[in-house]
Amino acid sequence: MKRSRWWFPLVLVLFILLLAAPAGLVWGQGAGIQVLDSSANYSFAKEVRFRLTAQSDADIQSVILFYRVGDSRVVTRAYPEFQPGRQVQAEWRWQLFPGSLYPGALIAYYWQISDAAGRQTRTTPYSFIYQDDRFDWQEYARDLVHVYAYRDARKAEGLLQQALQVLEKLEQEIGVTLEQPIHIYVYANRNDMRLALPSRSERYDEMTVTLGMVVADDTLLLLGSEPDLEQTLAHELSHIVVGLATKNPFGDLPRWLDEGLAMYAEGELPARNRRALEQAIQQDDLISVRSLSGYSGDPAKVDLFYAESYSLVKFLLDTYGREKMVALLQEFKQGAYQEDALQKVYGFGLDELDRQWRKSLGLGPRQLPAAGTPSPSAEAAGTPPAPSTPVPSPGVCGLSILPGVGLLGIYLAARRRARTPS
C-alpha cells in the first residue's frame, strides 16, 4: 500500500543535516570502503532487522547503525555484531513489542563504517514505511484525510466523510485548520487491533476495550466494530488537529482546553457528563478552572472533569467568539503559559475566567481559601500544574475500570477512547 507523506523529503534532509559527517568524512562509497548491500525488513510488532554487507582493501573494524522514527529528534545508535575483515556482514535486530511502533511510521537509517586504514564512511540515508502487513489495507482518501481499512469499504468511506465534517466544524467554529495529511487506520475487531496498541498491563488489556488512540501527531487507530465510532473519531481528530496547530517545544495545552475542544468537536454533551455538570451546579461543587488545568485528583469526578472542560470551551466560544479562540491557540503555539495567554487575548486570567464562567451558569463568585492558606506555586505563576500521577500525552483518551488514585492518570487518559466490556 503506497502512502504519501508530505514531510518525507524534509525529514530526510533534516536527518542528513542533523547527523552530517564532519569535514573530511567520505559519504556513500568511501575511498576503499564499498557497501555491497543494505536492507531492512520487519515482522509486525516483533522486530526490525537491519542488514549490511560491506568490503574494503583494509580490515573493516567498526560498523555502527543509526536510525530514527518519523520526525523525532531522537537518533538511536546500535552496534551490530560482525567478524572484522575485508568483507563483513552485519545485522542488527531491533526487538519490538505491541504498540512500540505505530502503523505508517517512517524509519530512516544509515551505516557508519571504519577500517584499519583509518578511513570512515557513512552511507546516504535509507528509509522505509513500517506497516501492519498482516492485512491488505485499502486507502480511501480525500483532501488531507487518508482512511485505511481492510474490511467494510462502506464503513471506511463513511468515516472519511465524517472526518471531513469534523474538520469543517473545527475550522468554522473553533478556527483550527488542518494543514498536513492525517492517517486513520480502521481495525475490524479487537483482536486485530491488539498488536498495534501499547500494552499497559495484562489485566488492563483484558478488562478494557480501546475504541481509538492517537499514536502519532498525524496518525489515529480506530476500532471499527464499535457503535459509537463517530464520537470517538470526532474526539480524537480534535486532539490531532489542535495538537498540530499548537505544536511547540515548550509545553502542551492546559487539560481543560485540549479536552474541552475535543468534547466540543463531538457535538452535544453526553448524558452522563451533562448529569454530572448539572449536579455540580446545583450543589455549587464545580472544579475550579485552575484545577482543570491538570487532571483532577478524584476518580469520582472524571465525568465532571470532561463536562466542565466542554462547558468552559463553549462559554468562551459563545461569549467571545471564534477569533479570540484562534488567537488563544496561537499564543499557546508560541509556548505561552495559560495565565499570560488568557491575559493577552481576553484581558483576564484564570480567576476571572472562573468567575465569569460560574456567573454564566447562575453561580456567584467562588469561595476563596481562608487567609494564609497556601496555593500551588505553579498555579500562582500561571503554569499548568503537573499531575500527581504520570499520564500519557494529549490525544489519548478512554475508560479504565481499575480503581484508586494511583491509577487515575491511566483512568483519565483512557476515558474517551476505551470502555469496559459488558
Cell of 300: 469520582
Query: In this structure, is residue 369 part of a structural domain?
Result: no
Same domain, 247 and 390: yes
Same domain, 120 and 231: no
**Burial class of residue 188 (count of CB atoms within 10 Å of its CB; 0-12, 13-18, 19+):** middle
Same domain, 286 and 303: yes
CATH number assigned to the domain comprising residue 164:
1.10.390
Q: How many structural domains comprise the chain?
A: 2
Instruction: Answer for the pair 21, 15: CB distance below 8 angstroms, yes or no.
Output: no
What is the distance between the alpha carbons of residues 3 and 218, in angstroms, rounded to a whole number?
Answer: 13
Same domain, 103 and 183: no
What is the distance between the alpha carbons of residues 316 and 260, in angstroms, rounded to a whole number?
Answer: 11
Q: Of 71, 95, 130, which closes a domain?
A: 130
**Burial class of residue 393 (count of CB atoms within 10 Å of its CB; 0-12, 13-18, 19+):** exposed
Instruction: Answer for the pair 35, 28: CB distance below 8 angstroms, yes or no.
Output: yes
Cell of 215: 499514536
Give how far the C-alpha of residue 369 lies from the chain's centroid of Cα atoms, to the nearest Å: 37
Task: Report the alpha-carbon angle 255-201-193, nearest 5.
Answer: 80
Cell of 268: 452535544
Same domain, 46 and 144: no
Q: Which residues pair with 33 in a beta bridge?
A: 56
What is the distance between the alpha carbons of residues 103 and 95, in angstroms, rounded to a whole number?
Answer: 16
Instruction: Answer for the pair 43, 62: CB distance below 8 angstroms, yes or no.
Output: no
CATH number assigned to the domain comprising residue 58:
2.60.40.10
Instruction: Answer for the pair 414, 393: CB distance below 8 angstroms, yes or no.
Output: no
Task: Report the alpha-carbon angle 326-235-168, nearest 5.
Answer: 50
Same domain, 36 and 181: no
Query: In this structure, is residue 100 part of a structural domain?
Result: yes
Which backbone phi and psi does 62 adopt, to 5 degrees? -145, 130
Query: In this structure, is residue 372 part of a structural domain?
Result: no
pLDDT of the chain, 422 residues: tens digit per residue: 444 454 444 444 444 444 443 333 344 444 589 999 999 999 999 999 999 999 999 999 999 999 999 988 899 999 999 999 999 999 999 999 999 999 999 999 999 999 999 999 999 999 999 999 999 999 999 999 999 999 999 999 999 999 999 999 999 999 999 999 999 999 999 999 999 998 776 666 666 778 999 999 999 999 999 888 999 999 999 999 999 999 988 888 999 999 999 999 999 999 999 999 999 999 999 999 999 998 766 778 889 999 999 999 999 999 999 999 999 999 999 999 999 999 999 999 999 999 999 999 999 998 765 544 444 433 333 333 333 333 333 334 543 323 333 333 333 444 444 543 33
CB atoms within 10 A of CB 219: 19
Same domain, 77 and 172: no
Task: Report the alpha-carbon angle 187-217-145, nearest 5.
Answer: 60
User: Of 412, 409, 408, nearest to 397 (Cα)?
Assistant: 412
Same domain, 246 and 316: yes
Same domain, 155 and 297: yes
**Burial class of residue 98 (count of CB atoms within 10 Å of its CB; 0-12, 13-18, 19+):** middle
Q: Of 96, 130, 164, which closes a domain?
A: 130
What is the distance between the alpha carbons of residues 387 and 389, in angstroms, rounded to a whole number?
Answer: 5
Domain hosting 283: range is 138-364+382-419
Query: In this structure, is residue 253 part of a structural domain?
Result: yes
Same domain, 264 and 154: yes
Q: Of 91, 112, 130, which closes a domain?
A: 130
